[in-house]
Chain A
Amino acid sequence: MINKTVSNVEEACKGIKDSMTLMLGGFGLSGIPENAIKELVRLNIQDVTCISNNAGVDDFGLGLLLRKHQIKKMISSYVGENKEFERQMLSGEMEVELIPQGTLAQRCQAAQSGIPAFFTPAGYGTEVAEGKETREFDGKMHVMEKAFKADFAFIKAWKGDEAGNLIFKGTARNFNANMSGAAKITVAEVEELVPAGELDPNQIHIPGIFVQRIFQGKDYEKRIEQRTVRPKK
């Protein structure tokens, strides 16, 4: 077993510098690396490029970095929940690249897999395809998209072991699985860290080879963005 554990978030974030490109897992506020985000705020890292499907809300998730103006550029698919984000984007304070969600996922997946580029029909004929190579396959037009290159990937899982093996819960898997191993260093934070051997190898979603550092996260808020319920009868 190769032990990937580090004792805390400070150790997990060693080597982060200004102007780096960071991947952050999660969809909305579900499955976001809460501990790592707080640490990025504490370290006051500047001018980072963030690859993340969403940008958090005004007072949580990536919104925390946004309001301290730490983000130079965001690469996302949907940013509708964050007023400060919209303000910084429309005023030009922050650069924003909006890309289709499936393309975002696949560019992570391609980076993880060592595939430099791929063709997708998504975005053909739209401003997303501007300046990109296009090609026809089987009578249909496609756009060439490239694998991301990132310095750190911050992901969050439900359970993990010392070897870096990960298990996700529910829809919190989302981009966390695709960003693992997609950057030079993948940092996984987990709700429950267990000794190697305690997780059933049949149930592992992401093998530890894709994870360089793993730590036991703490104080998870796990906020709900849109609480929708049926009344109890």
Chain B
Amino acid sequence: MSLSKEQIAQRIAKEVKDGYYVNLGIGIPTLVANYVRDDIQVEFQSENGILGMGPFPLEGEEDPDLINAGKQTITALPGASFFDSAMSFSMIRGQHVDLTILGSMEVAQNGNIANWKIPGKMVKGMGGAMDLVASAENIIVAMMHTNRAGASKLLKECTLPLTGVECVRKIVTNLAVLEIKDNAFHLLERAPGVSIDEIKEATEGELVVNGEIPEMKF
């Protein structure tokens, strides 16, 4: 069974370690916060200027001066801080943020990522994604394995304008957990009930399968 978006987030949450400062992108990455173990100390950074981001506010307690990078109303947890945009990206480019989780439209087997523009069709902009992928040592991409048309998003080479070069190390999709090294996707885990053949079928780039591939555990 291919994973739901919530399950992708749940699997990624296991990569969040004690003491991490984490930046979550828009979409599936935002859901990761819901599944992080509560016995570890973690702070979420949102690049519009908050460290220590909490859950959505209770109904009636929304504050227009308290939003995340997705422009959603949020709360601030005890220990939180606010800051300006330049300082926010000092945290990111300065590698003070330990883990970046973001969505993508395409990832290539060399770690290139494309997620900000479809020429002539959709141009939303890169937001903070280019700064994040250029700087972070530890980037996890959260996305569906194929697009709506059924085409693979794990490619030999990106076809869309790039967001960053040779920066992605790990990908969690609805079908698999993969690591990028030596110019190939290395299969680490498969979604429960998903066969290696299904993953091969959905992966356009070079896929390396070494030995027994365990099913994901949640």
Contacts and interface: CB of A to CB of B under 8 A. Distances in A.
B165 A79 contact: no
A229 B65 contact: no
Judged by DSSP, the binding face of B is: loop
Contacts of A106: 86, 89
Interface in A149-188: 158, 168-178
A90 interface: yes
B83 to A, nearest CB: 7
Given A123-B134, A226-B72, A172 B120 contact: no
Interface in A53-97: 53, 76-81, 86, 89-90, 96
Contact of B50 (A81, A86, A123, A171): A171
A104 B85 CA distance: 9
Contact of A28 (B71, B112, B124): B71
A143 to B, nearest CB: 9
A225 B85 contact: no
A218 interface: no
A120 B71 contact: no
Interface stretch (B35-43, B51-59, B139-147, B149-157): B51-59
B120 A225 contact: no
Contacts of A139: none
Interface residues of A, number: 60
Q: How large is the interface on B (under 10, 10 to 19, 20 to 34, 35 or more residues)?
A: 35 or more
Contacts of A29: 64, 71
A79 B124 contact: yes
Contacts of B100: none
Nearest to A191: B65
A230 B125 contact: no
Given A105-B86, A171-B46, A223-B64, A229 B73 contact: yes
Given A125-B165, A230-B55, A175 B84 contact: yes
Residue among A30, A31, A79, A171 having the largest count of chain B Cβ atoms under 10 Å = A171
A170 B73 CA distance: 11
Contacts, number: 191
Nearest to A171: B49
B162 interface: yes
Given A80-B124, A121-B135, A125-B165, A27 B48 contact: yes
A171 B59 contact: no
A226 B64 contact: no
A123 B130 contact: yes
A98 B215 CA distance: 41
Contact of A121 (B58, B82, B134): B134
A121 B127 CA distance: 15
A122 B130 contact: yes
Nearest to B114: A126
B63 interface: yes
Given A53-B85, A90-B120, A102 B131 contact: yes
Nearest to A108: B86
B83 A173 contact: yes
Given A77-B125, A229-B73, 7 more contacts: A28-B48, A30-B71, A77-B126, A90-B123, A101-B85, A101-B126, A177-B85
30 contacts: A27-B48, A28-B67, A29-B71, A31-B65, A77-B127, A78-B125, A86-B123, A98-B116, A98-B123, A100-B127, A100-B128, A100-B129, A101-B130, A102-B92, A104-B85, A120-B134, A121-B134, A122-B93, A126-B164, A128-B130, A170-B66, A170-B82, A171-B49, A171-B65, A173-B83, A173-B84, A175-B85, A225-B71, A226-B72, A231-B58
Interface of A: 27-31, 53, 76-81, 86, 89-90, 96, 98-106, 108-109, 120-128, 158, 168-178, 205, 222-232
